[in-house]
Chain A
Amino acid sequence: VSRYFAKLAKRVRQSWSRYWFTPTAPFWLAACRILVGSQLFVHLRAGDPWDPLSRLGVIPSIPHELWEPVSFVRWLGLAPPTETTLTTVWTLTMIAAVAMTIGLGTRAASILAAAGGLYLLTLPQCFGKTNHAYNVLAMMLLVLPFARAGAALSLDSMIRRARGEMPPKLSPDFKWPVKLIQFSFAFMLFFAGWSKVTTGGLSWVFSDNLRNTLEYQNFVVRAEVPTAGVVYPIVHNPWLWTAVAAGVVLGELSFIAIMFVRRWWQRLALLCVAAGFIVGLAVLMRLPNPTLLWLLPVFVDWNWAAEKGRSWVRGPTFSRDISRPVSRRSVSPDGGRGSDRAEAA
């Protein structure tokens, strides 16, 4: 029995190592850095603290008795920010977001962008209602300070190259941060589906729930905006709204599979599900969320895209090893560090 468990533990360790630490090229992580940094910049730009009606600019005007801090803002006992504090943090975070996107002083910029971004994304949640539109962005920001995100597609890498340093090799350091960033997105959809199953149960799908929700979203909350034509057949046909509700729950629950499937068409199908979900939210529920659409390409294989791009530019003889993950067989127990050394030699 002990030998069986020892063998099992070894297999689990190997699978874990292969999943998180297979050496890969740095482009996928670099693309994630650019997507997250640019989205943070776009998001914060709309919250200009000098505009008293913007998402962040309004915060100093809100009466302090409405302050209900959440998460780390509560644990740290932070008070509502003054106009000066808010403006300073916003300015520094904007600079960090730009630096992170272009990859200049990437590590320091990522730390500053994560700290400032998380603070600024959390502030609007501290007035009695949590909005879940930007959780994914905040979760992704948490990962990047720990990653070597400036190894490619960055000014840092260009400067290193100009100094005569070698380009980065395949490394496990480029794999696990990408996985965590992807998990941030996948968890959002999975738990949204899970909440529907555990809170609403079968009634969420098989009652008039979706029809009533669509009526409420389209004709009560946002009655002044013209309704999309596709809403009408759904709210008038029980089988149609039941099918859409079932599709929503199944789509949300199944998207997490993208973290485990390998074939490109399976990943593409799941990406289409997620994109359909985001577009459906905008069209049917009047809840447009460009942030999610912007961040969805973190699931695109940017290492493969970089390899293709390079082979187009330089011809098909360019080394294929630069962007492809090594195969299962070639992953050594040390997670590929040996193969890195061999490649360097």
Chain B
Amino acid sequence: MRRKAANALIVAFLGVALYAGFSGREIYPFSSFPMYSAVRADPQRGQHYYLVGVTADGRVTREVTAPLGTAVFLAWVRDGQGDPRRIGRLGSTLLTYNRRRKPELVAIRIVRFTYEISAYPSRDRPRKTRVEVLREAR
């Protein structure tokens, strides 16, 4: 009986892991681990989003990007970058960050910059071609 239960567990564990792995379905924690599997074409152009904080002396800090930043970014990027309900939450996000932060931030911003990676054999580092502040909450 004990052996049968162990066998059933082994088969179930391997079965789910193999199914998730080969089918590409996420059954957390079982996964196909697809991180960085897509090919980055050359030349590479793209956009990157940051959630940044602004201190009282005007310094811009990126330490606020995680972890709340991920959710805010994804909502911004996926939802046409303008859902007022969600973006309105940026102010409460600032309050959340300031609950324990000393000195407090005076503002947080969603920033988007467009970058370009030069094709080989160029040795230039990636260039920021455009930097935009998409939203700011004070």
Residues of chain A whose beta carbon lies under 8 Å from any beta carbon of chain B: 20-21, 51-55, 58, 61-63, 65-66, 70-72, 118, 121-122, 124-125, 127-130, 132, 134-136, 138-139, 142-143, 146, 172-173, 176, 179-180, 183-184, 187-188, 190-192, 194-196, 198-201, 203-204, 207-209, 211-213, 215-216, 219-221, 224, 236, 238, 285, 335
Contact = CB atoms under 8 A, between A and B. Distances in A.
A221 to B, nearest CB: 7
Interface in B83-138: 85-86, 89, 92-93, 96-97, 99-101, 115, 117, 119-120, 123, 125-126
Contacts of A188: 33
B35 A132 contact: yes
Contact of B39 (A122, A135, A207): A207
Given A52-B96, A52-B100, A195-B32, A238 B120 contact: yes
A138 B33 CA distance: 14
A68 B124 CA distance: 40
A62 B96 CA distance: 9
Contacts of A127: 70-71, 74
Contacts of B78: 128
A200 B39 contact: yes
A43 to B, nearest CB: 13
Nearest to A203: B39
A54 B22 CA distance: 34
A195 B26 CA distance: 13
A276 B68 CA distance: 32
B117 A62 contact: no
7 contacts: A55-B67, A62-B71, A135-B29, A198-B37, A204-B39, A219-B126, A335-B3
Given A139-B29, A176-B6, 20 more contacts: A53-B68, A61-B68, A71-B26, A71-B27, A72-B28, A128-B78, A132-B33, A135-B28, A138-B28, A183-B14, A190-B21, A192-B33, A204-B39, A209-B39, A211-B120, A212-B117, A213-B40, A220-B126, A224-B62, A285-B36
A187 B18 CA distance: 8
Contacts of A192: 33, 35, 37
B28 A213 contact: no
A65 B40 contact: no
Contacts of B120: 208, 211, 238
A129 B68 contact: no
Contacts of A201: 39
A216 B30 contact: no
Given A20-B10, A66-B71, A135-B33, A125 B38 contact: no
B31 interface: yes
Contacts of B72: 66
A55 B14 CA distance: 30
Given A139-B29, A195-B33, A215-B44, A62 B68 contact: yes
B34 interface: yes
Given A58-B96, A132-B33, A195-B37, A212 B42 contact: yes
Q: Assign chain B's interface to a size class.
A: 35 or more
A51 B86 contact: no
A227 to B, nearest CB: 10
Contact of A21 (B3, B48, B101, B117): B3
Contacts of A198: 37
A135 B34 CA distance: 13
B13 A212 contact: no
A139 B44 contact: no
Given A65-B85, A66-B74, A187-B17, A209 B33 contact: no
Nearest to B14: A183
B123 A236 contact: yes
The 10 A-B residue pairs with the shortest CB-CB distance, nearest first, are A138-B29, A71-B28, A212-B40, A195-B37, A128-B74, A191-B21, A208-B42, A199-B37, A127-B71, A192-B33
Contacts of B75: 63, 65-66, 128
A207 B42 contact: yes
Contacts of B126: 215-216, 219-220
A121 B68 CA distance: 16
A70 B3 CA distance: 32
Nearest to A196: B37
A179 B9 CA distance: 12
A10 to B, nearest CB: 16
A204 B37 contact: yes
Given A135-B31, A183-B17, A220-B115, A58 B68 contact: yes
